[in-house]
Structure 1
């Protein structure tokens, strides 16, 4: 049920994001910006294609995908990844692979909030978003 994610979500808390960005190889200047911005996440679904847009004053990126189909993604920090997004037990699970590395972002709805868990090896960052009215 991707539909539960549809809407606009505002970042309200971010834990350990700098360590996560370091773990995936983001440079210092980009990490500084990444730590300061509070992006909105916009989810929509059109004819089986999911759109996930991250909007901030620093950068706006949009990813369009179909569940379970690998696609080429250019991330906000300019990594070029092979990405697959699946729906597992109500969670959107995004796996990105590049240069022999892999990271996973699990998005879940908990208590009406969107919780994104970013995982790289043993580094975990949790970012929480609240739905905008």
Structure 2
């Protein structure tokens, strides 16, 4: 896992507005979400992981053990039950909501590709080291 502890910054995004709209994110927060370039990174501490999302608007840290459900407060303030799993270099996040909600983060040494799915709405975002 050479990508653990590396910081990745957003440089490209597709369909993120529609994804946020499908989630029910309000107009103001959608505009902010589309205009910030967050930095993300994963930290491993024994059996625990921390996934950090940092931006000029807000910083969040998800603390979790792989395969164990936990309560997550999302960037827009929703509270959901979440489970994180690791498949090779892909960190998968499944959120229990009224529709299928997943976030898949595929890491390499130089890039992180994130696919966000809510129901039938899909957004792809790219981050680079």
Shorter-chain TM-score bucket reads over 0.9
Could you say what secondary structure the match of 2:17 adopts?
Answer: helix
* CA-CA distance at 1:5 after TM superposition: 3.8
1:116 to 110, 114, 117: 114
In the alignment, the residues of structure 2 paired with residue 103 and residue 53 of structure 1 have an alpha-carbon distance, to the nearest angstrom, of 19
Unaligned runs of 5+ in 1: none
1:103-131 per-residue CA deviation (whole Å, 9 max, x = no partner) reads 10000025731001001111111110111
* CA-CA distance at 1:29 after TM superposition: 0.8
Partner of 1:13: 12
TM-score of the two chains, using structure 1 as the length reference: 0.90
RMSD value, Cα? 1.5
Contact (CA 8 Å) 2:3, 2:108: kept in 1 or not? no
In the alignment, the residues of structure 2 paired with residue 5 and residue 96 of structure 1 have an alpha-carbon distance, to the nearest angstrom, of 22
Partner of 2:42: 43
In the alignment, the residues of structure 1 paired with residue 13 and residue 4 of structure 2 have an alpha-carbon distance, to the nearest angstrom, of 19
In the alignment, the residues of structure 2 paired with residue 76 and residue 102 of structure 1 have an alpha-carbon distance, to the nearest angstrom, of 18
Moved more, 4-13 or 80-89: 4-13
In the alignment, the residues of structure 1 paired with residue 4 and residue 19 of structure 2 have an alpha-carbon distance, to the nearest angstrom, of 23
TM-score of the two chains, using structure 2 as the length reference: 0.92
Partner of 2:64: 65
